[in-house]
Structure 1
Amino acid sequence: MSDIDFNARIGRLNERVTAIWGEILDTSELVRAIRGGSVDKALYAIYMLETYHYTAHNARNQALVGVRHAELAPYAKFCFEHAAEEVGHEKMALHDVMSIGLKDHKFDIPQPLPSTEILIAYLYWVSFTGNPLQRLGYSYWAENAYEYINPLIDRLRTTLELQESQLTFFIAHSDIDADHFEEIKTIMRRTCKSEQDWVDVERVMETSLRLTGAMLEEVHREYELYRSGKSRRYAFLDVLREAPALAEA
């Protein structure tokens, strides 16, 4: 594929990502709450626990693609290397939850919210079936999301007075993902050869991003249920209301 054709394809993906993020950011109740400062530590905890759940599966479904298509040597190697680098990242999300006042309290982590389970299931589905290249669509936006979410992270950090030690998942990932994004574009140049490849990549990119947007909305709904006392799913977060200040890990 020529540089012109490849750049045109990447430009198309970037346009779609920007458009979808724009829809999410413009309509999301979670985003509106964060921007308005009407959040507390409980929302951060709920969001990071859902992040913990889906992140715990990323290395596994990434490796699954490599297992299914080991004959595609460059792509299989890419999948296995990226899977290895993703192992354990969910522990950073859990660390950040514990750091805001929960490290001295025992609790059972709730099962993922339904929308989080749908996202997890979808990523396994696209890793196990269909075009092996299609999972690159998820990686493409997920490894390059910071220009869209950094303003929200900064707002949360200010509102909740979070320290860097309480944002390890986002801070560590921002550096790692910058390198990954360049590697993703390199492997796409090498492997995405047909029109169908690009169609499949874009479809998974859009679907997985929209499913992530749905997860964000359910996080906010669950947070509102918790605050109103209509759900005790996150009853263990009551201790955060009693904490006088955020406790660094």
Structure 2
Amino acid sequence: MFESLKERFQPIFADFIRSEPVSLLTSGRMTVAEYRTIMREVFHHTRENPQLQVLATVYFKGRQRDMVRMFFKHAASEIGHDQLALNDYVALGGDATDVPYQNPLPATTALLAYGFYQIYNLNPLGYLGYLFFLEFTPTQSGAGMMEALRKIGVPDGAMTFLRDHTTIDQGHNRMMERYADALIRDEADLDRVSYAMKTTGYLYSQMMMQAVEDARAPAEPGWNWEELNADRIVPTESRRSVA
């Protein structure tokens, strides 16, 4: 099943590489400011992933439960990767003071929401497709993307997130092999996982492109007041000053 999944991944990966934001980078037309904004959105996305992976295990039944320990170990290893993205954002000149307390861009929220929707409303097994895309894309494209980033002026010190995932995800890829062989039982399961993989690739490219657009014409950030002021209600007119 793992080999079949890798075959399904190749055209999805090719579509992602041809997507507008990746093409901007590989052709040298992306600016440092645009990449910086992508890192801000990557921070928002990556911060939720460890808990999302653990959530998927709630629905594992029977022999699927054999993968619970590995899922937890995998999820724990992802904790803190959001800080790498935020560090890169700062290294590129961004001010991270308020970033953790702002809402992500809508396209980033859509990518995050899809992971939860897949688990809650479609089939939790499809989450493997979400995870597969995130783990295999950097190991296949990371080195080339880092070279493209250098050409547009991004220093190596601002590539910690991408460099980490280009190397560490090699181990996670081996975990994905075990997940696939243990959890995907038939062609229908393979279709579910492939669909999630394709959807994730599309939504990830949308997140990147909206970040590029926001760098060009920044929107007013939405403040996440539930996190900033969990124990009190702040009048609308005073929210910005409190932040």
Q: Same fold by TM (over 0.5)?
A: yes
Q: Tell me what 2:40 maps to.
A: 49
Which amino acid is 2:104 matched to? Answer: P
Indicate conservation of the 8 Å contact 1:35/1:152, yes or no. Answer: yes
Q: Tell me what 1:10 maps to.
A: 3
Structure-to-structure mapping, 1:91-170, within 5 angstroms:
91-102=83-94, 107-109=97-99, 110-146=102-138, 147-163=140-156, 165-170=157-162
Indicate conservation of the 8 Å contact 1:66/1:77, yes or no. Answer: no
**Distance in 1 (alpha carbons) for counterparts of 2:84 and 2:96:** 18
**TM-score relative to the length of structure 2:** 0.80
174 and 27 in structure 1: CA distance in 2 versus 1, 3 angstrom threshold: closer
Runs of 5+ unmatched residues, structure 2? 222-243
Superposition RMSD in Å: 2.3
Indicate conservation of the 8 Å contact 2:41/2:105, yes or no. Answer: yes
Structure-to-structure mapping, 1:14-29, within 5 angstroms:
14-28=6-20
3-state SS of the aligned residue for 1:126?
helix
3-state SS of the aligned residue for 1:117?
helix
Indicate conservation of the 8 Å contact 1:137/1:203, yes or no. Answer: yes
Q: Tell me what 1:39 maps to.
A: 30
Which amino acid is 2:18 matched to? Answer: D
Q: CA deviation at 1:107?
A: 3.8
Q: Tell me what 1:238 maps to.
A: none
Moved over 4 A (4+): none
**Distance in 1 (alpha carbons) for counterparts of 2:130 and 2:160:** 22
Runs of 5+ unmatched residues, structure 1? 1-5, 234-249
Q: Tell me what 1:241 maps to.
A: none
Q: CA deviation at 1:38?
A: 3.2
Q: CA deviation at 1:149?
A: 4.3
Structure-to-structure mapping, 1:52-67, within 5 angstroms:
52-67=43-58
**Distance in 1 (alpha carbons) for counterparts of 2:16 and 2:103:** 25
**TM-score relative to the length of structure 1:** 0.78
Q: CA deviation at 1:221?
A: 1.9
Indicate conservation of the 8 Å contact 1:33/1:39, yes or no. Answer: yes
Identical aligned residues as a percent? 26
